[in-house]
Amino acid sequence: MKRAIFPGSFDPITLGHYDIIKRAVKLFDEVIVAIGINAEKKYMFSLEERMQFIKDAFANEAKVTVVSYEGLTVDFCKKNNVKFILRGLRNPADFEFEKAIAHTNRDLAPIETVFLLTAANTSYISSSIVRDVIRNHGDYTKLVPNSVRVK
């Protein structure tokens, strides 16, 4: 069984993330969307809200699982018998950043990182842009799945 983890903070999930996950379910038997917990990071949405946004977005996709985890992604992979880490790339800067992490992860464990390029129509979207739009009362709904709703 080919299982991949798609780690991130997903604060909130964007249409770019959504697209990567939808394409990944065609490549893997299971895609685990894993929300990393970082006590030093300030989030706009609670862990429960972020998990629910993703669960609702993929309610009809049995191959997508949503979990949270603490610590190193490779430790999560080893503990859960996951052989692939999935990452989306928007631009060359993402590639350089992700390449260093992928090499480090491979040094730490026998885990491969699989990169998917974002779709051209979502390559400009990031969670930080979405949060800025929300903070400034803009129309964020064009940037996120329908499951993401601000109270």
Q: List the catalytic residue out of 23, 90, 99, 106.
A: 90
Amino acid sitting at position 116: L
Please state the three-class secondary structure of 126-147 as a single string. CHHHHHHHHHCCCCHHHCCCCC
Q: List the catalytic residue out of 26, 41, 42, 137.
A: 41
| Active-site annotation holds for 17 | yes
SS3 category, 54: helix
| Active-site annotation holds for 127 | yes
| Active-site annotation holds for 41 | yes
| Active-site annotation holds for 50 | no
Query: Do 115 and 95 form a contact (C-beta atoms < 8 A)?
Result: yes
* Strand pairing class (84-89; 64-69): unpaired
Structure tokens at 107: 């040094």
Residues in the chain: 151
Looking at the annotation, which residues are catalytic? 17, 41, 90, 127
